[in-house]
Amino acid sequence: MNETGITFENVRRNFRRADGREVVAVSDVSVEIKAGEFVCLVGPSGCGKTTLLQLVSGLLSPTAGAITVGGAPISGPGPDRGFVFQKDSVFPWMRVIDNVEYGLKRRGMPHDERRERALRYLDLVGLSDVAKAWPKELSGGMLKRVAIATVFANDSGVLLLDEPFGALDYVTKRQLHDVLLDLWVDAGRERRRTILFVTHDVDEALLLSDRILVVKQGAMADDIALKAERPRGVDSLASAELLAIKHRLLAHLGLEPATGSEA
Ligand SMILES: Nc1ncnc2c1ncn2[C@@H]1O[C@H](COP(=O)(O)OP(=O)(O)OP(=O)(O)O)[C@@H](O)[C@H]1O
């Protein structure tokens, strides 16, 4: 196991609701994610996807079981794991460039070095022009680009992305898929980052991932490896492999009759 592999061992997480009822958000998850893998988590609403990501982020701790990153147990949030949530990923009171630099500044990176780095990532996501703008001047898609630039600039080995593009229009979403994949592949980097990406969009999972984990009622219901070549596009989605996986996912989501392959 190298620095960015993630293991879940019999992980359970309960919550107590305001009415006193106990909810099992994650019931008994054991799974190993390899360093550099792009893994999508798919499953019905409320099945525990966000909870799994928050457990890896260190914002939540498991009720039982253990999670390790690079073999080390998680003891809270850390710069080795970056996250982008669906909402509120950008500080509205900081200019775009200061948002991208924020984590680097906190880690003590000298001004010129962090500015150069932040500008490089803003350039990679196509936002050099608005480096000095305030977030409120940007569109939803541009704000997501800022969040993506920020999380990549921080150089975390593990990225946790919780429906980052859920609210975006189709065109912007497809453009951001390319941005994200380019940054993930990042030719200048020795090792790929490990990505855990939550999505409700089955096509998005098929276009992006090496592996899809299906979560149902807090447990792993399926683990699907994707072999389709990259880059993937509409034609890939129509390939026999991805089409079969799509049917399998739709059956898991209750949108098509079970085929037996998704058991
Ligand atoms: N802080 C909390 N307090 C109480 N219950 C919670 C809390 N966070 C999550 N839950 C419950 O845990 C379960 C799993 O929630 P989670 O947000 O992980 O699901 P999800 O798969 O990400 O859902 P969605 O796809 O709708 O975002 C749900 O029943 C939810 O109500």
CA of 42 to the centre of ligand 1 (A): 14
Residue with CA at minimum distance from ligand 1 atom 2: 15
- Short-list 71, 89, 80, CA closest to 158: 80
Chain segment 203-236, per-residue pLDDT in tens: 999 999 999 999 999 999 999 999 999 999 999 9
pLDDT in tens, 83-101: 998 776 799 999 999 999 9
Task: Compute the average pLDDT of residues 98-110.
Answer: 95
Q: What residues does each domain of the chain span?
A: 1-77+195-256
Quote the ligand 1 centre to 107 CA distance (angstroms). Answer: 32
CA–centroid distance, 51 to ligand 1, in Å, is 6
pTM above 0.90, yes or no: yes
Q: What is the CATH number of domain 1-77+195-256?
A: 3.40.50.300
Q: Which residue's CA is the closest to the ligand 1 atom numbered 16?
A: 48
Ligand 1 pocket by Cβ (under 6 Å): 15, 17, 23, 25, 43, 45-51
Closest C-alpha to 160, from 104, 52, 84, 215: 84
Distance 25 CA to ligand 1 centre (A): 6
In sequence order, the β-bridge partners of residue 7 are: 32, 68
ipTM: 0.98
Across the beta sheet with 211-216, the strand order is: 81-84, 158-162, 194-198, 38-42, 211-216, 219-225
- Residue 223 pLDDT: 98
User: Which residue has a Cα nearest atom 31 of ligand 1?
Assistant: 46
